[in-house]
Amino acid sequence: MGKTYLEPETLLPIYDECDVLVVGGGSAGHSAAIAAARAGCKNIILMERYGFCGGDVTGGYVLLVPALSFHEKTYVQGIQEEWFTRLEKIPRAVAGPPMELAGSKDPEIIRKFAGVGGATMGPDARVEHGFTVDPTELKIEMDKMLDEERNSIRVMYHSWGCKPIMEGNTCKGVIFESKEGRKVITAKVVIDATGDADICRLSGAPTSNSIDDECRCGSTALVYRVGGFSRAEFNQWFHTDREGAKAFMQGLREIHGFMAAMIDGPTDDVSWVNNWQPKRDCSKVADLTATEMGTRLKLREVIDFMRKASPVLKDAYLYDIAPQTGVRGSYRIVGEHIIASDDWAFPKEYDDTIAWHSTVESLNDNAPIEIPYRSILPQKVDNLLAPGRHISADKIAIDCVNLVPQCVGTGQAAGVAAAVAVADGTTTHSVDIKKVQDILAGEQNVPLPRNEHTDKSYMENLVEHEYGLYTDAAKKAIAAKDAAGTYRHWTLSKGAALMNEASENMNDMTKTD
């Protein structure tokens, strides 16, 4: 037993009261607050530990928003598409193809947008609606979106939600810490958008931190950006001088001690450097500290190496370092539904679908899967929702459903569900899910399968292209990746084994949940 300290009992002041409290202002939390306001809720508080919204995108510099379309149809719209349409009006704020180009196989357009999340590669290369953003411009735009809803949303920056207030199995609010001390906010519905299920873990709802070490979620990052060169010229050098490119990648890995890659940003003069630091848990102080310090201590050596390794980078300099750790996976809820790896093998249909998202997964040719409301609904606890990075999925499937678009999409759905529950006087477990779906599809521009507000051509597009595991395009993509020995952070771990198992058990697994 370690040493302990008995905290004295204290009386906490109630700082504020609201109908919907969103804890965490990342992609999921920001979207939840905006969606709840647009769905008619007038008493919302958005609480965020930093001084800005956006989480991993604006704070961790995860600038890529991929896989919004499948062939000619864009399935991820709503608030996620609003990011693009708002930022494209601002110089240097976003780069990527508009949704009208989705599905094009024009090689020139593919080459133009491939580096910024705007194309699939491999045997069936095509334009895909996706984009990269400038983190500072997105911070500003997220504040503008909140300010537009200022009559409904009160924003609390520099406030860290740390403990739920429970009455039996019902969440009634949250204790938070700030420069003003420890205080309380009460709420009718709480949305845990912390990314690590911080509120859910302490509420009594079951959670899991099981993650496959070979998956993307088993790693952390500290992203940084490099300037002083032309990204287009670097790409040309990289693809022309193959030996130099190989030595460049090996050198980065040897200095850092982990995999790192330079990636196109929205402008030609700055590149962001993503990295994958394996077997680190972003809910552990030691791992977070090692990620931050271990990266920064090597950066001067890295920049010096870059200048010598490529003639294009001779004047390169460290542009900036992300203000927060890049976090991918730790604790997540064990919800009323658990998204499983075979959701990609066999197209599943759910009565409570709240998001219809492609997930950067070659096993099903990047086709969208359905995400049910129950995957953001914790077990055993009511009036608490958990959208975003910590949604309910198994230790392999979580790798493909916690990217930026899924965080935005499940956050938007959670906000609408919370608003409907408050308006109708129901709980999060008894909320009218049909009403939630109709608001999403009919009023908030979110395509949903089998909903009367969504054009039937979306489902026809999936059927036409035989979405699911057994497409020729999927098999070719898997074979190509196996042959290349590509790092699996973009693919479901153990994909080939899943294919074989799925083939043997196809008759038993075609039923929906």
pLDDT digits (tens, 9 = 90+) for 128-138: 999 999 999 99
**For the chain, percent of residues with pLDDT exceeding 70:** 90
> Residue 118, CB half-sphere, CA atoms under 13 Å: how many?
29
Per-residue model confidence (pLDDT) at position 346: 75
Per-residue model confidence (pLDDT) at position 298: 98
Per-residue model confidence (pLDDT) at position 344: 81
Q: Summarize the confidence of residues 248-266 as an average pLDDT.
A: 95
- pLDDT grade for 235, boundaries at 50, 70 and 90: very high
| pLDDT averaged over every residue in the chain | 91
Residue 510 has pLDDT above 50, yes or no: no
Q: Summarize the confidence of residues 389-411 as an average pLDDT.
A: 94
Q: Summarize the confidence of residues 470-498 as an average pLDDT.
A: 48
- pLDDT grade for 445, boundaries at 50, 70 and 90: very high
> DSSP secondary structure string, 396-433?
TGGGGS-SHHHHHHHHHHHHHHHHHHHHHT--TTT--H
Per-residue model confidence (pLDDT) at position 124: 79
pLDDT in tens, 101-130: 999 999 999 999 999 999 987 677 999 999
CA Rg value for the chain: 22
CA distance 44 to 418: 10
- For helices 27-38 and 78-87, give the axis angle rounded to 10 degrees: 100
Which of 49-58, 270-279, 347-356, 463-472 has the lowest average pLDDT? 463-472
Residue 312 has pLDDT above 70, yes or no: yes
pLDDT in tens, 184-199: 999 999 999 999 999 9
Q: Summarize the confidence of residues 88-112 as an average pLDDT.
A: 96
CA distance 228 to 451: 50
The phi and psi torsions of 221 (rounded to 5 degrees) equal -160, 155
Which two three-digit tokens encode residue 365?
Answer: 């040719």
Per-residue model confidence (pLDDT) at position 505: 36
- pLDDT grade for 478, boundaries at 50, 70 and 90: low
Chain mean position to CA 253: 25
Which of 49-58, 199-208, 344-353, 437-446 has the lowest average pLDDT? 344-353
DSSP 279: S
CA distance 406 to 489: 16
Residue 363 has pLDDT above 80, yes or no: no
Residue 228 has pLDDT above 60, yes or no: yes
Per-residue model confidence (pLDDT) at position 471: 59
- pLDDT grade for 342, boundaries at 50, 70 and 90: confident
Residue 506 has pLDDT above 90, yes or no: no
Q: Are 376 and 335 in contact (CB under 8 A)?
A: yes
Residue 466 has pLDDT above 90, yes or no: no
- pLDDT grade for 480, boundaries at 50, 70 and 90: low
Q: Summarize the confidence of residues 309-323 as an average pLDDT.
A: 98
Residue 486 has pLDDT above 50, yes or no: no
- pLDDT grade for 206, boundaries at 50, 70 and 90: very high
Q: Which residue has the higher pLDDT, 473 or 141?
A: 141
The phi and psi torsions of 136 (rounded to 5 degrees) equal -70, -45
Q: Are 197 and 27 in contact (CB under 8 A)?
A: no
Residue 86 has pLDDT above 70, yes or no: yes
- pLDDT grade for 500, boundaries at 50, 70 and 90: very low
Per-residue model confidence (pLDDT) at position 212: 80
pLDDT in tens, 139-182: 999 999 999 999 999 999 999 999 999 999 999 999 999 999 99
Which of 112-126, 326-340, 367-381, 411-425 has the lowest average pLDDT? 112-126
Residue 226 has pLDDT above 80, yes or no: yes
Q: Summarize the confidence of residues 467-477 as an average pLDDT.
A: 59
CA distance 153 to 189: 14
Q: Summarize the confidence of residues 22-48 as an average pLDDT.
A: 98
Q: Summarize the confidence of residues 429-445 as an average pLDDT.
A: 98
Q: What is the helix (H) or strand (E) element at residue 17, kind and residue range? A: strand 14-23
Least Cα distance to 352 among 422, 435, 420, 408 occurs for: 435
Q: Summarize the confidence of residues 46-73 as an average pLDDT.
A: 96
- pLDDT grade for 475, boundaries at 50, 70 and 90: low
Strand partners, 177: 160, 182
Which two three-digit tokens encode residue 460?
Answer: 């026809």
Residue 419 has pLDDT above 60, yes or no: yes
Per-residue model confidence (pLDDT) at position 213: 78
Per-residue model confidence (pLDDT) at position 474: 57
Per-residue model confidence (pLDDT) at position 403: 94
**For the chain, percent of residues with pLDDT exceeding 90:** 81
- pLDDT grade for 4, boundaries at 50, 70 and 90: very high
472: which residues sit within 8 A by CB, 6+ positions away?
A: none
pLDDT in tens, 364-386: 778 899 999 999 999 999 999 99
